[in-house]
Structure 1
Amino acid sequence: MAYSRQTRYSDPRAHAALFDPLPADPAGIGEVIRNLVVHYRASGIDFPPDRLAEIDSRWADRLLDADRRRFDTPLAEPRAPEQRIVGCCRDFALLTVSALRHQGIPARSRIGFADYLGPDWHYDHVVAEYWDGARWVATDTQIDIADLRLGPGGLRTAAQVWSGFRRGEIDLETFGVDPGADHLRGGWFARNYVIGELAHRLGDELLLWDLWGDMSEELPDDLSLIDELAELLQAADAGDRAAERKLADHYAGDPRLHPGTHVTCASPTGATFTADLRRDAI
């Protein structure tokens, strides 16, 4: 896909003009995004239910709606942490990608597991990636890392993690949401994230807690589909155009992979509900 075009999730729609004054460079954009979003868990702030619900905003323009409900100032004007948009790593990445695309910079979001957020644990994480004219550069605008390695020591993509697991090199019991979240880790979790990585790559930048298609909270007996996707994703990252095309064909043609019109949203708010992805239905 053409990564300089907005997707239905990254499109700021009525708020596009808010991005006009932003710096035309990834570092400057990242600084603004950190001023807009606060992590619902990592901040340590106890948000009331109506504010916590912002984590399910899903669309970039709905995230910006939340900011506009409290502010009528430019996005770069300081916001106190407790007044920022309540989100997670995916929202830092989505708004970064949205702002970069608005500036004409090709950008996309990457899903995987971070080796750098805490000791002895690989936290599920999303970062932005942009094309600098010569290569794709990953940037973690949540914590201000400008040139992030995609691999051990940095963000291991979901595909890398899955392939490492299948080779017997990785214990997936240390890959997940948090050491204290007993269920949100392991093989089924990493498998779902490979499907999520593919979706984000192809323009469906869904929530981390959305479930669709062949996603499951159990590890099935047949792992061949995810094995193939993981290999193709890594080949595409290495510049294999044929792998990129095959991923797009798989995603478009296989209902196990793309979300269709509805997903199950298992929100961190504690609610589980069916979300309609059709913009005209919202």
Structure 2
Amino acid sequence: MEDLDRWLTHTRFSNPGRHARSIAALSADVARLNEIIQGVLVHSSWLREYGLDTPRLDAGARTTLPFAERLDDILARDPRPLEAQRPPELRSIGTCRDYALMLCAILRAKGIPARVRCGFAAYFHLVWEDHWVCEYWDARRRSWRLSDAQIDPMLKRQNRIDFNPADMPREVFLTAGEAWTKCRRAEADAGDFGHGETTGMWFIKVNVLRDHHVLNGRETSLWDRWREAPAASRTVCDEELQLLDSLAARLEQELIAATPEWIV
């Protein structure tokens, strides 16, 4: 049995801080928590689908905030209890990582081991699209389960999603390590994995490193600047393969020092 206490301990980014009392009052049911989170967040890439103008997207929308600061932003826009579903124009704008971090933080506060995971989803535009979800420990089944708090009724309809977002089948989401290993074994095509037009083994490497960092308590996006990587560096060198194979097999191992400057 792995040390589940590791996934109960708050990081600086998952700690509810001054909001601990209001978080304690929330349900511990994952499906209900997903609904609550959907009622206070809106994804920066889907503003039009929620009837919002894209000019509302500010420069900080892609910056992953600490959970306590995200709650400050939510309540500044609408001071009602978190259980009250906000109209889209009063929700805080974030990305899939914010949905995953929020669910992870609440579950940890409830005494449920949880962690944010970086990987690839099979239910958006690409065959395997860059995405973040929450992984939580199910004590009854004694296993890790996946939940995507972003998947609300609109996204279900838009993407024809028919699974339960609070308990996702493993075949619809691959962690970065799983994706790396499948491609290295020629069980999957690396060109099917990526973000927009950026696909292939280099981007899978990016997500291996991001999942490695997040499993070591670095959920923030401040270090995550893969878009700044120059074209010449968007490769996977032979010297990197052994390290990346090792990380893919055990992403939660102690944080490595040798990471590219654009991701640290």
TM range (shorter): 0.7 to 0.9
| Residue number among 193, 202, 207 corresponding to 2:221 in the alignment | 207
| Residue number among 195, 199, 215 corresponding to 1:177 in the alignment | 195
Aligned residue number for residue 59 of structure 1: 66
Aligned residue number for residue 90 of structure 1: 97
Aligned residue number for residue 180 of structure 2: 162
Q: Which amino acid aligns with 1:156?
A: L
CA–CA separation in structure 2 for the residues paired with 1:171 and 1:217 = 18
| Residue number among 209, 218, 222 corresponding to 2:235 in the alignment | 218
Change in CA separation of 1:76 and 1:112 when aligned onto 2, cut-off 3 Å: same
Matched, 1:146 2:170: no
Matched, 1:195 2:209: yes
- Structure 2 residue runs of 5 or longer lacking an equivalent are 153-164
Mapped contact 2:47–2:54 kept (Cα < 8 A): no
CA–CA separation in structure 2 for the residues paired with 1:185 and 1:56 = 22
- Post-superposition Cα deviations, 1:36-68, rounded to whole Å, max 9, x if no partner, equal 111100232334367452331431122222212
Change in CA separation of 1:114 and 1:173 when aligned onto 2, cut-off 3 Å: same
Q: CA deviation at 1:128?
A: 0.7
1:1-282 → structure 2 map (5 Å cutoff): 2-44=6-48, 45-48=52-55, 51-118=58-125, 121-133=127-139, 134-143=142-151, 145-150=165-170, 152=171, 154-178=172-196, 182=197, 184-207=198-221, 210-211=224-225, 217-222=234-239, 223-233=241-251, 247-248=253-254, 251=255, 254-257=256-259
CA–CA separation in structure 2 for the residues paired with 1:220 and 1:211 = 20
Mapped contact 1:40–1:52 kept (Cα < 8 A): no
Aligned residue number for residue 239 of structure 1: none
Report the TM-score when normalising by structure 2.
Answer: 0.81
Q: CA deviation at 1:204?
A: 1.6
Q: Count the aligned residue pairs.
A: 237
CA–CA separation in structure 2 for the residues paired with 1:52 and 1:38 = 15
Change in CA separation of 1:79 and 1:52 when aligned onto 2, cut-off 3 Å: farther
CA–CA separation in structure 2 for the residues paired with 1:110 and 1:162 = 14
- Post-superposition Cα deviations, 1:120-171, rounded to whole Å, max 9, x if no partner, equal 5211111111112111111111115121133x3x101111111111112222
Q: Which amino acid aligns with 1:41?
A: S
Q: CA deviation at 1:218?
A: 3.0
- Structure 1 residue runs of 5 or longer lacking an equivalent are 234-243, 266-274, 276-282
Mapped contact 1:196–1:206 kept (Cα < 8 A): no
Any runs of at least 4 consecutive aligned residues in structure 1 with deviations exceeding 6 A, and if so which?
none
The percentage of aligned residue pairs carrying the same residue is: 36
> Per the alignment, in what secondary structure is the counterpart of residue 136 of structure 2?
strand
CA–CA separation in structure 1 for the residues paired with 2:22 and 2:234 = 39
Mapped contact 2:63–2:222 kept (Cα < 8 A): no
- Post-superposition Cα deviations, 1:230-280, rounded to whole Å, max 9, x if no partner, equal 1234xxxxxxxxxx6xx13xx1xx3125x9xxx758xxxxxxxxx9xxxxx
Change in CA separation of 1:35 and 1:20 when aligned onto 2, cut-off 3 Å: same
Q: CA deviation at 1:211?
A: 4.0
- Post-superposition Cα deviations, 1:13-41, rounded to whole Å, max 9, x if no partner, equal 22222312211221111111111111100
Q: Which amino acid aligns with 2:236?
A: L
Q: Which amino acid aligns with 1:6?
A: H
CA–CA separation in structure 1 for the residues paired with 2:43 and 2:206 = 22
Q: Which amino acid aligns with 1:39?
A: H
CA–CA separation in structure 1 for the residues paired with 2:53 and 2:235 = 32
